Amino acid sequence: MTKSGVNFFARGPGECLGCHDRVMTATVAPVGRPPRPRSGPVRRIVFALGVLMILAGLGFLLYCGWQYFGTNIVSKQKQAEIKQSISTDWSNGIDGDEVGLLRVKRFGADYEAPIVKGFDDKSLAEGVGWDPKSARPGKIGNFAIAAHRVTHGEPFAKFPKLRKGDEVVVETRTKIFTYRLRNSGTSITVDFSVGWPLQRVPDPDAAGERPTKSVITMLTCSELFHTRNRNVVIGDLVSQKDKRTGKTTTVR
């Protein structure tokens, strides 16, 4: 039907019924990944700190592994070399730089450690260290020695097992000295800064006193990740044997 010559029912492309308004066609944008946010300075700093923490953790683990395993391997090899050097020197009638050999039955039937001169880190990494300010083995005074319980060969690993009355043997080129302990390996504990165990008379109440007999003092070192405390045992010389004559003398 037409009115005034206009067809209200005519529908052409893009037109509504009864009107000439054109229909707008909607366009849908393709779906894709959202744009990645730009890396700001804070994000980069956090990432760098995370990497540093990981590297620090790995470095700490490597350090601990070296201390607990690597130093033991190196030190035990060095101790074996020193013992061989001692044997060679003694067979040639030479005392050498080393002090002697230490044997403690409580540490094992085959236990034998070299005693080297010095209380510094290098000496303590090579065996049992001897304080050069103290007396020589068998001499009147305090023969003071120290060693590690953990790391660097662990010469004193079984120190807490020591008991009162245990015998400690020190061999030099010409003599063998036997000491008997006064106390156990855990009965005396001192701070690392306490000095009386290194006195000529190892007694906290005997500072400055003149020694009258031969004693031995054995100390543990301050260990990795442990407290500053160290254990101390003291022993009296009970006998000495002359290796050349085979004669044993009892010390009273």
Residues 6+ apart with CB under 8 A from 191: 228, 229, 230
Alpha carbon distance 195, 134 (integer Å): 12
The two three-digit tokens of residue 43, written as one number: 């994000």
Residue 149's nearest CA partner among 225, 201, 249, 53 is 225
221 in catalytic set? yes
Residue with tokens 């529908």: 11
Structure tokens belonging to residue 244: 């050349």
Question: Annotated catalytic residue: which of 20, 64, 148, 226?
Answer: 148
Is 16 designated active site? Answer: no
Residue in 16, 19, 152, 221 annotated catalytic: 221
Q: Are 231 and 160 in contact (CB under 8 A)?
A: yes
Which of helix, strand or coil describes residue 144?
A: strand
d(CA 241, CA 169): 11
Place of tokens 């683990």: 61
DSSP secondary structure code for residue 21 in this structure: P
- How many angstroms separate the CA atoms of 151 and 233, rounded? 21
Distance CA(49)–CA(38), nearest Å, equals: 19
Residues in the chain: 252
Q: Annotated active-site positions, please? A: 148, 221
